[in-house]
Amino acid sequence: MTIYQKTIENSFTIKGYGIHTNQQVTITIHPAPANHGIVFKRIDQNNCLIPATIEFLKEYNRATLLSRNNIIIKTPEHLLSACAGLGLDNLLIDINNDEVPIFDGSSLTFINAFIKSGIKSLNEQKQPIIIKSKTILKSNDASIICLPSKYPTFSYFLSYPKSFIGVQFFGMKLSQENYINQIAPARTYGFYNEYLSLLEKGLAKGGSVDNAVVIKDDGYMNKLRFEDELVRHKLLDLIGDCWILNRPIIGHVIGIQSGHALASQFTKKLAYQYAHLFNLNT
């Protein structure tokens, strides 16, 4: 299987608000050459460069977090997920705040902007991670399992036994078409009672029914895009968290009640298992 690296044809700028800070953020995404990777540039912090790699990945439960010299990038997972769905692996991202905009809570805004800008293949191959054996990572009731497979495949199991939500499961072969149609529209979600608690902690200041599925005890506060939108969004997050590796995973990644912190551990574990692809010392 020959896979070529990709970037975008043209730079573009989009603006939005951070879900936790509710501050306006402007990001400008530029094409980048082969082997550049996905790199954030904090233009409000002396142009500090923060590559989206495991070296700068920090464990944080409510979002993905990148940090370099105490300068951070929060919530890049929806952007990275869109990159994974389209196979984009070389971008320079100017950002003027510490939080990537939430937009409507899905990755559709990024997908549409990338497609409009144009996507091009580069004259450099990308070596995928080919899973040879089973890997399991557990933390309390959550786990991530990775199995050999002929194709890049992602699945997620979600369970809220004390809620009307119950059990949801979704899995698919990761392709551009499947991602755009089945995953990209799925929005982040939160429970109304937890939202009030987060506000008291100074978080989720930008959260609303405009950018999240809000759940009350007796039902959803807004109309769903999919009957199983919650589990599809968890899969969106998992795909984004795995794109920190900046390589396709030829294997089956299964998330079971997992979140961003466990996904961070998983990607680091996988990187060291396949250290020859990342120039890491084991």
Q: Report the candidate in 162, 170, 40 with the shortest Cα–Cα distance to residue 98.
A: 40
Q: Rounded CA gap, 272 and 6, in Å? A: 24
From 20, 30, 252, 260, the catalytic residue: 260
Which residues, 6 or more positions from 135, have their beta carbon under 8 angstroms from its beta carbon?
A: 145, 146, 266, 269, 270, 273
Q: 89 near 248, Cβ under 8 Å? A: no
Q: Rounded CA gap, 166 and 189, in Å? A: 15
Whole-number CA gyration radius for the chain: 18
Question: 260 an active-site residue?
Answer: yes
Instruction: State phi, psi for 99 to the nearest 5 degrees.
Output: -130, 125
Q: 101 near 14, Cβ under 8 Å? A: yes
Q: 158 near 257, Cβ under 8 Å? A: yes
Which residues, 6 or more positions from 169, have their beta carbon under 8 angstroms from its beta carbon?
A: 155, 156, 157, 158, 228, 231
Residues classed as catalytic: 260
